[in-house]
């Protein structure tokens, strides 16, 4: 399947280390601007059905506010319990002030 990128938000709308929740084609996505990059990760924790975008960002990871599992923004892999399953991450492109995300191909 080929990637289809859609506009998620403006780059200027993303504050450093502050997750922003968007919905793209019915998929909840947490966008995070950190360490000079923008990452897109599925917004639902794989351990509990809660929004990751309500958590803290540190060291290129997002922490679930409910139980404290942290997920790598690059890979979606959890770094500790209670989560054991990764969450999907999505490709991101920046064009001007537009943040484009493809939710058609998960990695």
Domains, the chain, ordered by start: 15-90 (2.102.10.10)
What is the residue-level pLDDT of the chain in tens, covering all 107 positions? 568 999 999 999 999 999 999 999 999 999 999 999 999 999 999 999 999 999 999 999 999 999 999 999 999 999 988 999 999 999 999 999 999 999 985 44
pTM of the model: 0.93
What is the C-alpha to C-alpha distance for residues 81 and 98, in angstroms, rounded to an integer? 35
State how beta strands 27-34 and 20-24 pair.
antiparallel
What is the C-alpha to C-alpha distance for residues 88 and 76, in angstroms, rounded to an integer? 6
Best CA proximity match to 92, nearest among 7, 1, 2: 7
């Amino acid at each position: 399947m080929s990637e289809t990128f859609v506009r998620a938000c403006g780059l200027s709308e993303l504050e450093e280390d502050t997750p922003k929740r968007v919905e793209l084609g019915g998929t909840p996505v947490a966008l995070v601007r950190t360490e000079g990059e923008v990452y897109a990760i599925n917004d639902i924790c794989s351990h509990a059905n809660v929004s990751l975008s309500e958590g803290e960002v540190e060291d290129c990871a997002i922490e679930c506010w409910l139980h404290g599992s942290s997920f790598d923004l690059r890979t979606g892999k959890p770094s500790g319990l209670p989560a054991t399953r990764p969450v999907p991450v999505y490709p991101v492109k920046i064009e001007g002030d537009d943040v484009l995300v493809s939710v058609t191909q998960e990695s």
